[in-house]
Amino acid sequence: MIHIVGIGPGSPELLTSAGALLIQKADVIVGSKRQLSDIPPDNPAERKLLPSQLSELEAFLRERIGQDIVLLASGDPLMYGIGKWALDRFPQEQLQIVPGISSIQYLCSRCGIAMNDLYITSSHGKQPDFDFLLAHPKVAMVTDSKIGPAEIAEEILQRKLHKTLIIGENLSYPEERLHRLKPEQVAAHYDMNVVVILDEG
């Protein structure tokens, strides 16, 4: 059985009790270096570093399917995470998806932004359709190193739109930083981040 556990944005305090219990009982835990380093040292499970190739991950999961495998997912597994990849490859009866607090939810809570009517998207591995996105009054984007706050700000400036960017860096970690900026104030670089774009002059 594959238990895909959403661990939240990063701080161990934000992991759900359901996720923590599955981690405690796992035979094997798969995750990134940072995620595995937060597993308590007395947890007896085997630890497997997330392979860089997803084909390798798939082969590993198939080989170990009889065991209790916990696959750690950042935020919520089904919010632009590994959950969809797993649903496309494994039957539902081999999967348990445990929700987590997504980085977008966390940023909205920290900044007091209601998620009603929020359009949620990602720039991971794709060129977003900014004409479409910027027509929405409230958009949240998980970003990658190619399309992040600076590129979003540039698209807004090109269209002469009145928007505010809320940028959350390293959310829930000690290095967390929150910014509320006009597009012309956005810097060239931010650490791991989520952006909310609001219609505000």
The number of beta carbons lying within 10 Å of the beta carbon of residue 198 is: 18
Q: Is 103 one of the binding residues for ligand SAM (CB under 6 A)?
A: yes
Q: Is 9 one of the binding residues for ligand SAM (CB under 6 A)?
A: yes
| Alpha helix positions (H), the chain | 17-25, 33-37, 54-63, 82-87, 103-111, 130-133, 149-158
Stretch that binds ligand SAM, among 37-45, 50-58, 137-145, 158-166 (CB under 6 A): 137-145
CB-closest chain residue to ligand SAM? 75
Min separation Cβ 154 and ligand SAM, Å: 18
Min separation Cβ 17 and ligand SAM, Å: 19
Min separation Cβ 141 and ligand SAM, Å: 8
Q: Is 134 one of the binding residues for ligand SAM (CB under 6 A)?
A: no
Using CB under 6 A, count the residues that bind ligand SAM.
21
Scan residues 52-81 and list those touching ligand SAM (CB under 6 A). Answer: 74-76, 79-81
φ/ψ (deg, to 5) at 44: -80, -5
- Cα 134–Cα 139–Cα 145 angle in degrees, nearest 5: 90
The answer to whether the CB of 187 falls within 8 A of the CB of 150 is: yes
φ/ψ (deg, to 5) at 6: -75, 120
Q: Residue 121 belongs to what H/E stretch?
A: strand 119-122
| Alpha helix positions (H), 15-102 | 17-25, 33-37, 54-63, 82-87
In the bound state with ligand SAM, the residue whose beta carbon lies nearer, of 27 and 85, is 85
Q: Is 19 one of the binding residues for ligand SAM (CB under 6 A)?
A: no
Amino acid of residue 83: G
Q: Is 31 one of the binding residues for ligand SAM (CB under 6 A)?
A: no
Taking CB under 6 A as the criterion, the residue among 15, 140, 171, 196 binding ligand SAM is 171
Chain residues in the site for ligand SAM (CB under 6 A): 9-10, 74-76, 79-81, 102-103, 124, 142-144, 168, 170-172, 192-194
